[in-house]
Amino acid sequence: MSTIEAKIIKITNIKSHPNADKLEIVLPNGEGGFECVVGLGQFSENDLAIYIMPDSVITEEMSATLMERSKIQIKNGRIRPIKIRNILSEGLCLNPEEWLNHPVQEDDDVTEELGITKYEPPPRSSSSLRSGKGINFNYKNENFKEYYCVEKFKKCPKVLAELNPEVVATIKYHGTNFRCGWVKKPEYKKTWWQKFISLFVKKNPQEFLVGSHNKIKFPTKDALKNGDYYNTDTWWRAAKKYDLESVTKQIVDHEAMLHPDKDPPNVMLFAEVVGPGIQKGYDYGISAGEIEIRVFDIMIGGNYADWDTVVHLCNCFNLPVVDEVYRGPWHLDVTKKAAAIDIYNGKKYVREGVVIRSIKEAWHPKCGRVIFKYLNEAYLLDKTNSDYH
């Protein structure tokens, strides 16, 4: 999920609401960004406003005050995208003078001052997402990186226009996050005996790990002895199905051969696990009891690989990769690829959205890595879908 912030913006884009005379539309981040429905005349060009992003959680006090002043009802304090007179409204625009007792300037961050936090979905439970038997959830290794936070495109709509890169848009599958790879073992203080033994017995400095977005699924000693964790844990099951321990080790060995003067690089593979029961209504035509992965990123030596390198490696090892829906020069119409219906084995699925990235890895001070998610409006408004995106 993307980061959350409440900032002071300068109103530079106001549009008439096509379906309501007493409403207008503010574009907090400019063309292509979030659209926020406000009252007619609530803001004028060049006014300063507090913009609170979707998936922010406001305080109970703030929620009660909004209800009292403008009858806005916000369930559990969460700001969700809603349709107002058939126009999607994403977030809140508020007058700083009503909420802050000091002068403000454009780009001031008032997230902490207003007590705004990020919405975190509750833990999921699913018969297909099995995990627990023979798994130690407390194992730590800082070298096994969590997946880089992908920002929402609407938060930084001008970045791609500024860079004007060749881009690729891929389908955003609705499953559960998966990561695996060979990484350097964590540092720990050795006993004198361990130091002595290490002089004669050379151990692999790396270890193969498997995990979800924020948990390492480390097998216990009994599980390693019996091998049952491959069947009782969804993430290890996926790793075994695609032989990912061997796949990622081959990439490590290849890189080590190219750079024999350096330590073996950390190699991590990131994918989405999909299949029946992973996400309600999204089995993607996969048979009951089966799971599959869709690879979307590979990290080598701490750096994300260019997209074509990801595709090449997946082709070499017969790994399923997320589908491309566009490749070419950047233009705003690429975002329209998010609004689609995908068909798998004759069944229709509302596309969750797309991920848009520079084909060649790029960085920008506003967003960091140049990779964005753009969610489908129809998917966002369907309350039967989960919040894991």
- How high is the pLDDT of residue 77? 92
Percent of the chain with pLDDT over 90: 76
Q: Per-residue pLDDT tens for 180-236?
A: 999 999 876 556 555 556 556 567 789 999 999 889 999 888 888 777 788 878 999
d(CA 223, CA 18) in angstroms, rounded, equals 61
Residue owning tokens 């996969």: 286
CB 229 within 8 A of CB 223: yes
Q: Which amino acid is at 347?
A: K
- Second-level CATH architecture of 6-118: Beta Barrel (2.40)
Q: Tally Cβ neighbours within 10 Å of residue 43.
A: 19
Least confident residue range of 99-108, 134-143, 263-272, 327-336:
134-143
Question: Does the structure show a pLDDT above 90 at 383?
Answer: no
Residue 270 β-bridge partners: 179, 297
Question: Does the structure show a pLDDT above 60 at 120?
Answer: yes
The mean per-residue pLDDT over the stretch 124-134 comes to 59
Tokens of 218: 């480390």
Q: Tally Cβ neighbours within 10 Å of residue 61.
A: 11
- How high is the pLDDT of residue 50? 97
- How high is the pLDDT of residue 188? 64
Residue owning tokens 């919040």: 387
Tokens of 277: 């029961």
Q: Per-residue pLDDT tens for 347-377?
A: 999 999 999 999 999 999 989 999 999 999 9
Question: Does the structure show a pLDDT above 60 at 379?
Answer: yes
Q: Quick one: pLDDT band at residue 275, thresholds 50, 70, 90?
A: very high
- How high is the pLDDT of residue 193? 58
Average pLDDT in the chain: 90
Continuous segment of H or E residues that includes residue 221: helix 221-226
- Domains 6-118 and 135-381 belong to one CATH topology: no
Q: Per-residue pLDDT tens for 41-54?
A: 999 999 999 999 99
Question: 384 in the Ramachandran plot: left (φ > 0), alpha (ψ -120 to 50) or beta?
Answer: alpha
Domain boundaries, the chain: 6-118, 135-381
Question: Does the structure show a pLDDT above 90 at 136?
Answer: no
- How high is the pLDDT of residue 189? 59
Say whether 170 sits in a helix, a strand or coil. Answer: strand
CB 27 within 8 A of CB 51: no
Nearest to 373 by CA among 389, 359, 358, 354: 354
State whether CATH 3.50.50.60 applies to domain 135-381.
no
